[in-house]
Amino acid sequence: MPDPTTLSRWLLVAALAWPLVLLPSLWVRRLQPVARLLLPTAPALAVVLALWGYPDVSVTSPWQPQHVVLGLDLTARAFLGLTSVLWTACAWYARTSLEGDEHRTRFEVFFLLALAGNLALILAQDVPAFYAGYVLMGFASSGLVAHRGDAAARRAARLYVSLAVLGEVLLFVGFAYMVSGAGTTSLPALQRAAPVPVAQVLLLVGFGIKAG
């Protein structure tokens, strides 16, 4: 019988990779019907991971085996369960509501990228992985904001990108302060480290802008 920890570790990687695996098929006309049929399954492995993933499973860096990159702890499981169900509902709605939409493929591309970024930041256990997922989700979401394509949507997307970049810069500086003080990029270790007031303010404002 396969080791449940090993299976969960593979599932952890597969849940993050599956939206990106579906992505290239959207550009191949013959594969588009299959890709669109499978679009609602993009968050499916994340749902499975949230419900049945082995507790505290993690994936380490192939270059630094002692360094954890992705993980499923109690907090990640809760956020993953909530967001993956919401992404699934959105995917099913988009599949039917976008019938006949001339910009459907563009929407689906940004949808999958934003989903992958969201999953990455939830499962991230170190700063680079978290920040990469955060930036990917932010820029991909701007494509969803601009989907309608009219002047109001483009204006909203420009405003969204401007605020997203500002928030990401603040987060980057805040994380830089924390990493330089603690000497590690591990998120659990940074949580246990002595607080850095400047970094806390920067992170609070950066996340606050993104939330808005």
- Low-confidence stretches of the chain (pLDDT beneath 50): none
CB atoms within 10 A of CB 142: 21
pLDDT of 1? 53
Instruction: Give me 116's structure tokens.
Output: 């992958």
pLDDT of 7? 87
Cα dihedral 98, 99, 105, 106, rounded to 10, equals -30
pLDDT of 212? 64
Most distant pair of Cα atoms in the chain: their distance:
58
pLDDT of 23? 94
Task: Write b or e for each residue in 124-135: b if 16 or more Cβ atoms lie within 10 A of its Cβ, otherwise e.
Answer: bbbbebbbebbb
pLDDT of 158? 93
At 100 the three-state DSSP class reads: coil
pTM: 0.92
